[in-house]
Amino acid sequence: MNFLTFPKTLLILIALSFNTVAYAQSMTEEQNIRGVILAYGKAMNASDTNSVVALYAHDGVFMPSKEPTATGLEQIRAAYAHEFKVIDLDVKIVFDEVLRDGDIAYVRSRSEGQLTLLATGKVVPTEAYRAFFVLKKIDRKWKIARFMFNFSR
């Protein structure tokens, strides 16, 4: 064996292992980010205010379509409690984009399913629903820092 090629081979293997570790960490972070959004969807489908609020950062901001902005956990709790008196959801979250830059992540998604207007019983499909989340990592956990949604029609 040529002893000059051994160090080169070793360096290549070390470089590849660092890339593999970085890639695995990146994929794990993306899975964790997606997990927060999926937990949000599950809590929304269950009309579970406490579980929704637990996913937010303490200084989180919720900007619902056609409703006032809710800032901080107390206002966010009140906003979702109101939402769950008005609608019932049965949706699946579809991810359109997940981007991460350090301890900040951006998620663009939409929902497939339906919502029921509780006052009338009217069922409305949600394919026009679009959502945008900004998450931040706090104490090694991803939390929703900002969230807004709208309907494309």
pLDDT at 151: 85
Segment 101-115 mean pLDDT: 96
Tell me, what CATH number does 127's domain have?
A: 3.10.450.50
Q: What is the mean pLDDT of the chain?
A: 90
Which range of residues forms the domain containing residue 144? Answer: 5-151
φ and ψ at 111, to 5 degrees? -125, 145
Give the per-residue pLDDT at 152: 83
Strands 56-63 and 70-71: antiparallel
Residue with the bigger pLDDT between 23 and 142: it is 142
Beta-sheet pairing, 104-117 with 123-125: antiparallel
**The residue to which tokens 């207007």 are assigned:** 117
pTM assigned to the model: 0.82
Residue 106: exposed, middle, or buried by beta-carbon count in 10 A (0-12, 13-18, 19+)?
middle
Q: What is the mean pLDDT of residues 103-123?
A: 97
Whole-number pLDDT of residue 52: 99
| Helical (H) or strand (E) element with 148 | strand 141-151
Number of separate domains in the chain:
1
Percent over 90 (pLDDT), the chain? 75
Residue 22 has pLDDT above 60, yes or no: no
Which DSSP helix (H) or strand (E) runs through 47? none
